[in-house]
Amino acid sequence: MKPLILFTNDDGIHSFGLHAAVAACEPLGDLLVVAPITQQTAAGRSKPPHSSGRLTRVEIYVHGRVIQAFGVDGSPAQAVEHALFELAPRPVNLVVSGINYGENVGEGLAVSGTLGAAIEGASFGIPALAVSRQTDPTHFLNHRAELDFSVAAHFLRRWAAHVLTHGLPPGVDVLKIDVPDDATPATPHRWTRQSRRRYFVPVPPQRTHDHDPAPMGFVLRADPAELEPDSDVRAVILDRVVSITPITGDMTAAVTANALVQWENDVV
């Protein structure tokens, strides 16, 4: 029996990036496509109580054939739950989230719906990939922009095949893959860590009255003097290589019990 691969995202079921991911991995197994029916960028791993869970059947055309997909009225994490517990005909072997419009690097990881969906799948013991393509910020919310996803799809297919054959590295729950917008299939990859520096820097809105609608803006910042040498931001934004970051669902700080006791005693 072929492995069953779940495809999801946060850009929505109609995203060209999602369709590119499905097409890239079609030869690797049976396909289950379940994603939010609407744009859910920056939804993280949220599970809003107002989500109806309504399912909408959507036809996706891949390599000349129709694939039945499902749009979920819900967040990326909720779409994964519906997929795993309502729609999957058998256990899922791999979760693929993406290909996202826009890089998911640095402190923004916790905000990303792309990562939220992948971590949701990983929480049930399923290996997961979260794949993003760097874009201009004007495309972050435009899931129908005619961008070239072929290079990101190339790296996705490569690592999906490897994970299906060998599993994830020990202690890893998700592989986060970020592809520069000018990458080619020959672009090298680098094993990275999530940067702790801010990449998405808030910009306060301009308003006349407090009640004026004025959402926060942002600018992108990648300061070579601040960035860690092995960070995902440095790899993608400055060095223009593919970043592969191993992610774990265990958010416990890497500190020893002895160090905690010493800190407690010092403070008291």
Q: How far apart are CA 253 and CA 186, in angstroms?
A: 36
CATH of 4-198+226-267, one of 3.40.1400.10, 3.40.50.970, 3.40.1210.10, 1.10.10.10: 3.40.1210.10
Cis peptide bond prior to 99, omega within 30° of 0: yes
> What confidence tier does 143 reach under pLDDT thresholds 50, 70, 90?
confident
What pLDDT is recorded for position 268? 58
Q: What is the pLDDT of residues 167-215, one digit of tens each?
A: 999 999 999 999 999 999 999 999 999 999 999 999 999 999 999 999 9
Q: How far apart are CA 224 and CA 205, in angstroms?
A: 27
Q: What is the pLDDT of residues 95-142, one digit of tens each?
A: 999 999 999 999 989 999 999 999 999 999 999 999 999 999 999 988
Could you tell me which of 194, 72, 69 has the C-alpha nearest to residue 130? Answer: 194
Q: Which residue, chain included where needed, has tokens 């808030």? A: 202
What pLDDT is recorded for position 108? 87
By the 10 Å C-beta count (0-12 exposed, 13-18 middle, 19+ buried), 172 is classed as middle
* Long-range pairs for 219-225: beta carbons < 8 A, 24 or more residues apart: 220/137, 221/197, 223/197
Q: How far apart are CA 24 and CA 50, in angstroms?
A: 34
What pLDDT is recorded for position 173? 98
Could you tell me which of 199, 178, 192 has the C-alpha nearest to residue 97? Answer: 178
Domains of the chain, residue spans? 4-198+226-267
Q: How far apart are CA 117 and CA 96, in angstroms?
A: 9
pTM of the model: 0.95
